[in-house]
Amino acid sequence: MRKLDLLFFISFFLSLTISKAQYPEGNVKTEYLYSEVLENEFGENPNRRVTIYLPPEYSESKQRYPVLYFLHGFTWSDSLMIAESQFDKLLDKAIAKDIIEPVIVVMPNHFTLFRGSWYTNSKLTGNWADFTGEDLVNFVDHNYRTISNRDSRGIAGHSMGGQGAIKIAMLFSDIFSTVYALSPATLDPTNSEFGIQGEAYKRINEISTREELITDWNEFLPNAIVAMGRAFSPNLNKPPFYADFPYEYVNDSLIVNYEVLELWKKKSAMGMVDHHIEDLRKLNAIKLDWGRNDGFDHIPTTCLLFSKKLENLGINHFAEEYIGNHSNKLFTDDGRVMKDMLPFFNTYLKFEE
């Protein structure tokens, strides 16, 4: 091998070695947390998996860390946040590049029998909001070296998890200080494709089993609506899905169930605002963003309406539309998590006791 070739090979090898080693790796742990508030008679498991990211220096130090709770989207899970989204690798890079100081990140599993809890308390499926805002936080504070005060706790999420983060921040403003919602879905769950003109309600009438709904993504919208019904308007005497819906078809005629419609609006993030104005004002920082070209038509519309509602109430917040769709600019090196969400929490979370 010629000398120049040998030098090039050595240089190339060293560059690869440095590249692989330049981001110290955090530790990803899997825990299982039983929650009494999730006990139910309809098959949901109250023993929940929780994925926890510990920063690279955690095991060698005695330091305490702030905690970011991240809520996954519909059909997704905590384990997929690592296996597919590779959130841990992004956190390694963000910490190494001083985009965010070392932080603990907690990802609870809200994947249910119908592929999503909607982070909502339900007499049918369990109290998922209470589990997240109380039991989970207590478990993490008890078992890990956290800075256990609200100024050092943030909550974020994508899609279903984005609306969940906003709702839980409102419900538990004494627990969380900062919230960031990425493309939050169904801030108003009766808008656009989830509204009166959507075809999904008619399709629900034609489906009689859970398996038809949750197999692949052919019935994504009917699946999402059924999961919301089980969360927002459960009916323990109405099989097969044990839920009431704001719209239904009877003999091919559309019927509006106004009481259910009002209940869905009341339990939505948009509807909760009026009853949680002071909770929202108590938060140190609020941000939501959304892609202009989101394939779910309701998201750009409802995000803008939600922001305008906060603005009209004098609630300080950040809101931003970017050129992107529902998921193409999230966990990439130039995506919203790296460039916007993590710097946001680095600014507004308290990193020292």
Q: What pLDDT is stored for residue 16 in this prediction?
A: 45
CB 234 within 8 A of CB 125: yes
Name the pLDDT band for 199 (thresholds 50, 70, 90): confident
Cα(166)–Cα(161) distance, integer angstroms:
9
Q: Which of the two residues, 16 and 296, has the higher pLDDT score?
A: 296
Name the pLDDT band for 196 (thresholds 50, 70, 90): confident
Name the pLDDT band for 251 (thresholds 50, 70, 90): confident
Q: What pLDDT is stored for residue 12 in this prediction?
A: 45
pLDDT above 70 (res 18): no
Q: What pLDDT is stored for residue 250 in this prediction?
A: 85
Question: Could you report the per-residue pLDDT of 37-52, keeping only the tens digit for each?
Answer: 999 999 999 999 999 9
Average pLDDT, integer, range 216-240: 96
Question: How is domain 21-188+269-348 classified at the architecture level of CATH?
Answer: 3-Layer(aba) Sandwich (3.40)
Nearest to residue 146, comparing CAs of 33, 48, 55?
55
This model's pTM is above 0.85: yes
Number of neighbouring beta carbons within 10 Å of residue 215: 11
CB 185 within 8 A of CB 301: no
Q: For the chain, how far is it from start to end, CA to CA, in angstroms?
A: 58
Nearest to residue 227, comparing CAs of 345, 110, 71, 80?
110
CB 248 within 8 A of CB 258: no
Q: What is the largest CA-CA distance in the chain?
A: 83
Where do the domains of the chain lie? Answer: 21-188+269-348, 189-267
Supply the mean pLDDT for the chain: 93
Residue 178 CA, distance from chain mean position: 14
pLDDT above 50 (res 3): no
CB 136 within 8 A of CB 106: yes
